[in-house]
Amino acid sequence: IAAPQHRSSKTESYTDNKRKEDVRQANIIAARSVANAVRTSLGPKGMDKMISTSNNEVIITNDGATILHKMQVLQPAAKMLVELSKSQ
């Protein structure tokens, strides 16, 4: 009786396209959320934002840089956008 041959996992590749699409969609949603947080404060009819910090400080501003600086972002793509805005 011949022993069953096992394929090496190094030669096989499995691509989970569903996971890639989920990550891509999450990144798009995060980028849109950051943009929406700042968008309404821009322009001649820009509205002020009230930001409550973790130490109970309340800041009212319509400055996009201040809004982004005070945001505590956890999602990696959104965090990259916030860091990118700081370098501008």
* Structure token pair of residue 58: 């309340």
Give the separation between CA 61 and CA 70, rounded to whole angstroms. Answer: 11
E-state strands within 1-88:
49-52, 58-61
Q: Measured in Å, how far apart are the chain's first and last C-alpha atoms?
A: 70
pLDDT tens series, the chain, 88 aa: 555 555 555 566 556 677 888 889 999 999 998 888 888 888 888 888 898 888 888 999 888 888 888 888 888 888 888 888 888 7
Tell me, yes or no, if the pTM score tops 0.75: no
